[in-house]
Amino acid sequence: MRIDDTHHPALTSWVESANGHSDFPIQNLPLGVFSADGLERRIGVAIGDFILDLQAAAYALDDAWADELAQPVLNAFLSLGRGPRVALRQRLSELLGDEAHRETLEGALIGQSEATMHLPTIVGDYTDFYVGIHHATNVGRQFRPDNPLLPNYKYVPIGYHGRASSVRVSGEPVLRPAGQRKPPEAEVPVFGPSRRLDYELELGVWVGPGNALGEPIPIDEAEEHVAGFCLLNDWSARDLQAWEYQPLGPFLAKNFLTSVSPWLVTPEALAPFMTTAFPRSEGDPQPLDYLQGGSEKPGLGLTVEAFLTTRAMRDAGLAPHRLSRGVAADAMYWTVEQIIAHHSCNGCNLQPGDLIGTGTLSTASPDGLGSLLEISQGGKAPLTLPTGEQRSFLEEGDELVLTARAVAEGFASIGLGECRGLVVG
């Protein structure tokens, strides 16, 4: 991921709202899928408070990508790999940065407030990992105080195959799931709505070209298969999870909804913000050979945050309460490149538009915990909100908002947008 003139901090756009925009300045240019009055789903680019409709602007782009960019999802374009993605970014930077193109392109702009966002791809498969070592330790400590991390954790990037059909774009209402749970005092389980609904602050990784079945992706090539990033909330029913997770792992506790932010922020946009990987402690095992290598700076220098509002807080006009704040690279024991290499090492075929979750990103700091399970210590230490309300887990009317910002000296900061979810039951 190279730094070039598209990252220059002095670069501005004739789309005035992009200049100094908190998430979508001209240095970002994330891809997404939108619809608006009179328009079916189309591929667009976020620029300030607007979306540039790439189908309407097709005449100014390279004809080589015309068919892929005319699709209602990004799968075909992502399958082309890095080269066309870099070239599109360069061309969009030129078009949106040069006043000479205002007159011809202004008509292709649509206000984000006037558009409906959709999933950027058809998600063929979704895999959720567990690379947040502090989260794994905190959760493990609740069940195994003397041995919170299982023996395989520092050898294997742990993951599970999630449910792609229930992946939804930010803003989809959160319906409380039902299932079996076994209260500690009960002899047998009961069936009913979850009473321990939780969020998980994660990042999502969109897969690019992918690999053929039976052909693993070497770690030195893993970067080529990452098409972009988003925010991801892996909603979790902790009481269902506690009863069902042994011996095969998450099922109904996780597959009822996964929310993602709508914009695919490319690796190219994040190039200035990459950092070193998580520092392994002395005595930790070295990764096996197939997990060693990759890029020089594979760590994600993104500050991720989670905010909560209750119905009472909104009625009182109170600001959202921040639950968590931390840097992704400080939480991820395994890098995205290691995730890709491990996922495919047995010959599993990743496909364009597939989604991979990092797992909950909790840092070592108490204010960097990425789930209520950790914040409330499993319900033993409820969180007190500005209204005096307490929360151990989510209740009806609660809204979660995830955000992420990339900041580095000498560069314009960019963001990933928002991932929202309102609990309606």
Active-site amino acid positions = 135
C-alpha torsion angle, residues 219, 222, 224, 225 (rounded to 10): 160
Task: Tell me whether strands 190-193 and 178-181 are parallel, antiparallel or unpaired.
Answer: antiparallel
What is the C-alpha to C-alpha distance for residues 73 and 84, in angstroms, rounded to an integer?
Answer: 16
Q: Vertex 253, ends 249 and 254: CA angle to 5°? A: 85
Laid out side by side, the sheet with 399-406 consists of: 321-327, 302-309, 399-406, 414-422
Encode 243-272: b = buried (16+ Cβ within 10 Å), e = exposed. bbeeeeebebbbbbbbbbbbbbbbbbbbbb
**What is the Cα gyration radius of the chain?**
21
Kindly report the number of other CB atoms within 10 A of residue 238's CB atom: 22
Look at residues 100, 13, 96, 97 and name the one whose alpha carbon lies nearest to residue 52.
96
What is the C-alpha to C-alpha distance for residues 92 and 11, in angstroms, rounded to an integer?
Answer: 13
Tokens 């292709």 sit at which residue?
Answer: 108
First-to-last C-alpha distance (Å) of the chain:
44
C-beta of residue 266 within 8 angstroms of C-beta of residue 31: yes
